[in-house]
Amino acid sequence: MITKRDLAIATGAAVLTLAGVAVAQAPKPALIGPSVWRWEDLKPHDTDVGTYAQIARGPTATLDELELHVTTLKPGTSSHPPHQHPNEELVIIREGQVETLSGGEWKKVGPGGVIFNASNSPHALKNVGTTNAVYHVINWKPPGR
């Protein structure tokens, strides 16, 4: 004889199975493959501290996520307060003078400078110059992060 408890367990198992099937069948984002992004095609949008232009964000053949963007910071502003995250990133300064929190110290960086923000390392960036600062960010998440 089937009890109410048996029905409840069977119903729960069926719901969980259907949910698992739905997740497995959900469309996965297309992989970023060979690509070229032209400066003139970027579409920056205004922020409180300057502008932000997303170049790409998605999985690649070897990464769960590759994220590329360009930020412009007005003089005297910061992109965000100091923070940390498990993913790593490179920041390449294109224009202006910035200070970056790296290894617990604030360091000045100008055009052509490269900043590596290591996994779980507190970091921040602020424009300490008299003109806009423009920088490119390359951020990646390896599988399982």
pLDDT tens string, the chain, 145 residues long: the values are 777 765 556 676 666 666 566 555 667 779 999 999 999 999 999 999 999 999 999 999 999 999 999 999 999 999 999 999 999 999 999 999 999 999 999 999 999 999 999 999 999 999 999 999 999 999 999 997 6
Helices and strands counted in the chain (H then E)? 1, 9
Contact 65, 117 (CB under 8 A): no
Identify the H or E element spanning 7.
helix 4-25
How far lies 133's CA from each of 28, 29, 96, 112, in Å?
36, 32, 4, 12
**Please, which residues have CB within 8 angstroms of residue 136's CB and are 6 or more apart in sequence?**
68, 69, 70, 91, 92, 94
pLDDT for 27: 74
pLDDT for 8: 59
Q: Give the Cα separation of 15 and 118 in Å (integer).
A: 42
pTM: 0.79
| Tokens encoding 48 | 């409180």
pLDDT for 22: 56
